[in-house]
């Protein structure tokens, strides 16, 4: 289980960063999730599905707890963007990656997380529904709206 969790760390951190808007807080959230899971590994029932969506749900819940505890004004979404790099400085793929990060920072956290779950972590709709605690039928429409919002943010950013 430890090995599997280690492999899931990067993806979980990407998700937590998009929810919390801060890479350091996200690392704390993933660390807390590791501790929770390793303290009670029996809480995971492999007969109910793979570890990945289950662990991502634990991480997401931890992130939501952290958001509840802090003041709403303390959401430094700007930290999602690397401040040292401007689009002019970056080239080719790097430029596109920077643009994606900037555009993600412009859309709501709810939309960011579903995009990360599908397009970055490659989870099927059924597992996304499981992680987010929504009906499977909701996933496609929410994801589509989120993608359109991201596309619009990218287009606006490019102008």
Partner 1 sequence: MVSKTQAIDEHVGELLSGYIDGELTQQQRQRVEIHCGNCGDCESELNALRALRRDVSNSRLSEYGEDVWREKMDDRTVKATRSIGWLLFLGAVLICGGVGIYEFVFDSSMGTFEKTMIGAVYGGLALLFFSVLRQRLIERKTDKYKDVEI
Binding interface with partner 1 (CB under 8 A): 2, 5-7, 9-11, 13-14, 17-18, 23, 26-27, 30-31, 34-35, 38-39, 93, 96-97, 100-101, 104, 115-116, 118-120, 122, 124-125, 140-141, 143-145, 147, 150-151, 154
The radius of gyration of the chain's CA atoms, rounded to the nearest angstrom, is: 16
| Closest of 117, 105, 102 to residue 59, by C-alpha | 117
Nearer to partner 1, 15 or 67 (CB): 15
Residue 117's region, left for phi above 0, alpha for psi from -120 to 50, else beta, is alpha
23 membership: H or E segment, kind and range = helix 23-39
Nearer to partner 1, 58 or 104 (CB): 104
Q: Compute the least distance from the CB of residue 52 to partner 1, in Å.
A: 14
Q: Compute the least distance from the CB of residue 10 to partner 1, in Å.
A: 5
Nearer to partner 1, 72 or 83 (CB): 83
CB 33, CB 40: distance < 8 Å: no
Nearer to partner 1, 39 or 71 (CB): 39
Q: Compute the least distance from the CB of residue 62 to partner 1, in Å.
A: 14
Nearer to partner 1, 8 or 67 (CB): 8
Neighbours of 16 (CB within 10 A): 29
Place of tokens 């289950």: 54
Q: Compute the least distance from the CB of residue 71 to partner 1, in Å.
A: 25
Residue 120 DSSP one-character state:
I
Place of tokens 């996304």: 128
């Amino acid at each position: 289980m430890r090995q599997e969790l280690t492999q899931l760390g990067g993806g979980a951190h990407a998700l937590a960063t998009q929810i919390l808007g801060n890479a350091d807080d996200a690392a704390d959230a993933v660390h807390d999730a590791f501790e929770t899971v390793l303290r009670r590994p029996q809480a995971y029932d492999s007969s109910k599905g793979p570890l990945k969506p289950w662990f991502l749900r634990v991480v997401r819940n931890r992130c939501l707890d952290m958001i509840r505890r802090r003041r709403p004004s303390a959401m430094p979404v700007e930290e999602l963007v690397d401040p040292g790099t401007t689009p002019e400085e970056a080239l080719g793929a790097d430029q596109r990656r920077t643009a994606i990060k900037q555009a993600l920072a412009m859309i709501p956290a709810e939309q960011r997380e579903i995009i990360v779950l599908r397009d970055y972590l490659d989870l099927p709709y059924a597992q996304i529904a499981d992680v987010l605690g929504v009906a499977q039928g909701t996933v496609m429409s929410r994801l589509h709206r989120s993608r359109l919002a991201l596309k619009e943010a990218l287009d606006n950013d490019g102008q």
